[in-house]
């Protein structure tokens, strides 16, 4: 199955105005930058409990003909990720660390926005002195050897150790995840909570649908499971997906799935998400359980009024519906994911950024699945990476930067079944039924033949019996 990753960056049009006077950010989407991906399962081990353990390695190769220019030559203006992360983590650091890092921040030459190529921002990374502060701010942050990239170290690697059910003894459990990295729970969340549940999820390749036609998908990079439900929308105004094979139409019904609307709901809109707790430091904890209208520290220099997008309760941050706080699994970094252009999110996220243009058909996360075999026919996994800007009050250099949820880039993982897979599915869906029909006709014919032969046999016996009676009667006379 051909797999492509496409990345779209939000290029910042007015970086100097934002830094100097707190202007409303204006962005323009640049992309796609397309990479062809190859997946291969390795370290495969079959277990006695009807499971198989493996690692799935992924490699990416740039495809220039499907991209908006070169990923090394196209220069983008974007938020300084390491700086934003450092400022957020600094607020929880001990006083000594605060002083050391604050002194270091006063010497950096680049501002809150930087210019880098797409490849540097994604996989290759770029030299960044701020990464040296990571171990000081959080000892669990991995050593990146002085480089930063949003996906640095993610090429030519795997997503971890999966153990999934083979479905040998129970087809309803095929491809469901039993363990990830040896654990039967998602370790970032409270044990035995709804949020930490791993059982019943799938790796998204072969899917066993539940009675309600829903399923759960787990991906380590998203730090959680996502429930998918069918959407009653037809593909090309039909309930069929069509492929041409030898000038004949192969048609079979598919179900279209999209994430449950509660996946990115805030805790007050959907209580089931209250166990997804943030590691971020509230900007103004003294407000308590109030809706926080985050504004610049130096409000008189702000050019626009920031719309509220979070809530603070019991000293914890809860973002309004439409984003998922990943700080718990990203070493406390203020990283959030949403749908592209804040699709389906609270409108305040879009109002704080100029240039957001959500489009349901282009930005929706969806999967097309053949329901009988559970095969994924087509997938459009669309996710946006954002960073929440939060600044320590004692650092004046960046006082005008608006404290908002800032979009960085969005990605689409696109996979579509090949003609060979389509043909195999069509065979699985039609041939057994065809053979069953042929067999039923054969049985009917054989049955009719047996009835005919039985009738002939009975007629023969009756005729023979009559002849014997006539013969006996003639002898008597």
Which of these, 256, 259, 263, 204, lies nearest to 231 by C-alpha position? 256
The pLDDT of residue 210 is: 72
**pLDDT value at residue 464:** 64
What would the mean pLDDT of 167-171 be, rounded to a whole number? Answer: 86
pLDDT over 70 at 470, yes or no: no
What number is the average pLDDT over the span 446-450? Answer: 65
CA pair distance 89, 404, nearest whole angstrom: 16
**Range of 17-31, 245-259, 309-323 with top mean pLDDT:** 17-31
What pLDDT score was predicted for residue 287?
42
Higher-pLDDT residue of 131, 477:
131
Give the total residue count for the chain: 477
Pick from 90-99, 226-235, 420-429 the range whose average pLDDT is largest.
90-99
Residue 93 — pLDDT band, cuts 50, 70, 90? confident
Lowest average pLDDT, out of 16-20, 315-319, 439-443, goes to: 439-443
Q: What is the mean pLDDT of residues 208-225?
A: 85
For the segment 266-283, the average pLDDT, to the nearest whole number, is 88
Q: Which residue, 227, 321, 317, 315, is CA-closest to 269? A: 321
For range 203-221, the mean pLDDT = 81
Pairing, β 215-219 against β 201-202: parallel
The pLDDT value recorded for residue 69 is: 92
Distance CA 450, CA 429 (A): 32
Mean pLDDT computed over every residue of the chain:
84
Give the per-residue pLDDT at 475.
58
Among 126, 122, 211, 132, CA closest to 172? 211
The pLDDT of residue 463 is: 61
- Spell out a b/e string for 390-417, using b for 16 or more CB atoms within 10 Å of the CB, else e: bbbeebeebebbbbbbbbbbbbbbbbbb
CA 297/CA 401 separation, integer angstroms: 9
Q: Which residues pair with 386 in a beta bridge?
A: 336, 407
Average of per-residue pLDDT across 440-445: 59
What's the CA gap between 135 and 156, in Å, rounded? 25
pLDDT of res. 418 = 78
What's the pLDDT tens digit per position in 245-266? 454 566 777 888 999 999 999 9
Please report, in angstroms and rounded to a whole number, the separation of the first and last CA atoms in the chain: 91
**What percent of the chain has a predicted confidence (pLDDT) above 90?**
48
Distance in angstroms (rounded) separating the CA atoms of residues 308 and 291:
7
**pLDDT (0 to 100) of residue 232:** 65
**pLDDT class of 461 with cuts at 50, 70, 90:** low
Spatial CA neighbour of 389 closest among 378, 375, 376, 400:
400
pLDDT of residue 191: 87
Q: Where are the domains of the chain?
A: 3-417
Say whether pLDDT at 297 is over 70: no
Q: How confident is the model at residue 233 (pLDDT cuts 50, 70, 90)?
A: very low
pLDDT, residue 392, reads 86
Phi-psi region of 32 (alpha: psi -120 to 50; beta: other; left: phi over 0): beta
Q: Is the pLDDT of residue 240 over 60?
A: no
The per-residue pLDDT for 119 is 97
pLDDT at 341: 98
Q: How many CB atoms lie within 10 A of CB 122?
A: 25
The whole-number average pLDDT for the span 425-438 is: 60
- 296 falls in which pLDDT band (50, 70, 90)? very low
Q: Is the pLDDT of residue 444 over 70?
A: no
Cβ within 8 Å of residue 139, ≥6 positions away? none
pLDDT at 234: 33
* Average pLDDT over every residue of 204-222: 82
d(CA 454, CA 463): 14
Task: Find which of 108-112, 153-157, 202-206 is predicted with most confidence, using mean pLDDT.
Answer: 153-157
Answer yes or no: is pLDDT of 335 > 90: yes
**Rounded distance, CA 205 to CA 159, Å?**
15
Q: Looking at the predicted structure, is the pLDDT value of residue 455 above 70?
A: no
Nearest to 60 by CA among 33, 31, 32: 33
User: What pLDDT, on the 0 to 100 scale, is given for residue 439?
Assistant: 55
Full-model pTM: 0.85
User: What is the mean pLDDT of the segment spanning 393-414?
Assistant: 92
């Amino acid at each position: 199955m051909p797999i492509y990753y496409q990345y779209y960056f939000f290029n910042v049009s007015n970086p100097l105005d934002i830094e100097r006077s707190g202007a409303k950010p204006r962005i323009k989407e640049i992309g796609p930058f397309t990479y062809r991906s190859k997946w291969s399962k390795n370290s495969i081990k079959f277990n006695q409990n009807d499971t198989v353990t493996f690692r799935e390695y992924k490699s990416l190769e740039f495809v220039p003909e499907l991209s908006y220019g070169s990923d090394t030559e196209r220069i983008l203006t974007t938020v300084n990720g390491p700086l934003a992360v450092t400022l957020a983590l600094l607020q929880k650091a001990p006083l000594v660390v605060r002083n050391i890092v604050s002194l270091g921040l006063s010497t950096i030459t680049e501002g809150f926005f930087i210019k880098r190529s797409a490849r540097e921002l994604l996989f290759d990374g770029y030299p960044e002195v701020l990464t040296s502060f990571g171990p000081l701010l959080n000892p669990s942050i991995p050593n990146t050897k002085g480089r930063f990239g949003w996906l640095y170290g993610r090429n030519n690697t795997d997503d971890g150790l999966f153990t999934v059910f083979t479905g040998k003894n129970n087809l309803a459990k095929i491809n469901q995840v039993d363990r990830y990295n040896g654990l039967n729970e998602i370790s970032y969340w409270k044990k035995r909570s709804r949020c930490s549940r791993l059982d019943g999820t799938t790796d998204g390749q072969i899917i066993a649908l539940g009675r309600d036609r829903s399923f759960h998908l787990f991906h380590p990079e998203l730090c959680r499971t996502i429930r998918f439900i069918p959407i009653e929308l037809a593909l090309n105004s039909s309930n069929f997906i069509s492929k041409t094979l030898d000038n004949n139409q192969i048609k079979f019904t598919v179900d279209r799935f999209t994430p449950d609307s509660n996946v990115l709901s805030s805790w007050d809109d959907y209580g089931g998400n209250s166990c997804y707790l943030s590691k971020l430091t509230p900007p103004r904890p003294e407000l308590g359980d109030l809706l926080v209208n985050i504004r610049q520290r130096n409000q008189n220099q702000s050019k626009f009024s920031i719309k509220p997008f979070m809530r603070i309760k019991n000293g914890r941050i809860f973002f309004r519906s439409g984003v998922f706080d990943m700080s718990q699994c990203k070493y406390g970094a203020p990283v959030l994911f949403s749908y592209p252009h804040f699709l389906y999110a609270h409108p305040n996220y879009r109002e704080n950024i100029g240039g957001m243009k959500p489009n349901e058909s282009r930005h929706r996360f969806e999967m097309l699945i053949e329901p009988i075999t559970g095969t994924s026919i087509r997938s459009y996994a669309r996710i946006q990476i954002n960073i929440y800007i939060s600044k320590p009050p004692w650092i004046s250099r960046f006082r005008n930067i608006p404290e908002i949820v800032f979009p960085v880039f969005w990605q689409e993982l696109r996979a579509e079944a090949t003609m060979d897979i389509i043909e195999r599915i069509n065979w699985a869906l039609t041939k057994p039924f065809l053979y069953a029909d042929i067999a039923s006709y054969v049985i009917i014919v054989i049955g009719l033949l047996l009835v005919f032969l039985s009738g002939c046999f009975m007629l023969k016996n009756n005729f023979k019996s009559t002849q014997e009676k006539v013969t006996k009667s003639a002898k008597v006379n």
